[in-house]
Amino acid sequence: MSQLKNKRVTRQRQLVYDCVIDRKDHPSANDVFADLQNTGIGIATVYRQLSAMVDEGILKSFEHSGKIRYDPLVAPHAHFVCSICDGIWDVDLPEDIFLMSPDFSNVEIEGLELTWKGVCESCK
């Protein structure tokens, strides 16, 4: 939990962190809440903790199918989304990907979002 060292670690914060930090399925706040339902934590607390972790750079968030999803992989990467099961997988990007950014003198590139869509192996 060294990533949380700059903020007081409450029981609720630890629960949310432990629930998402090793996940590969890009859960929504409702997914996290459902997983923690037997702990007594409230949905508002889950949203608050996830938002704080995004602000602190512990998690990334992105919109998918009308929901905000959370991703513990904060290094630059892309996603593959299955059009049948709606699963989301991380895809590594080459380290020099930002060298391919457009050369605009009047803008500042802040990031890159890349998603491939198709049918996963399980759904073929």
Quote the pLDDT of residue 111: 76
pLDDT over 90 at 1, yes or no: no
For 77-123, CATH number? Answer: 3.30.1490
Average pLDDT score, the chain: 91
2-71 fold: Arc Repressor Mutant, subunit A (1.10.10)
Mean per-residue pLDDT, 29-33? 98
SS3 content of the chain, % helix, strand, coil (to 5): 35, 20, 45
Provide the whole-model pTM: 0.84
For the stretch 92-115, pLDDT in tens is: 988 888 777 777 778 887 777 899
Taking the domains of the chain in order of start, what are their residue ranges? 2-71, 77-123
Sign of torsion over alpha carbons 60, 80, 28, 65: positive
Q: Distance between CA 106 and CA 10 in Å, rounded? A: 44
For the stretch 32-49, pLDDT in tens is: 999 999 999 999 999 999
Q: Distance between CA 68 and CA 45 in Å, rounded? A: 16
pLDDT over 60 at 5, yes or no: no
What b/e string do you get for 64-73 counting C-beta neighbours within 10 Å, with b at 16 or more?
Answer: eeeeebbbbe
Sign of torsion over alpha carbons 38, 44, 50, 52: negative
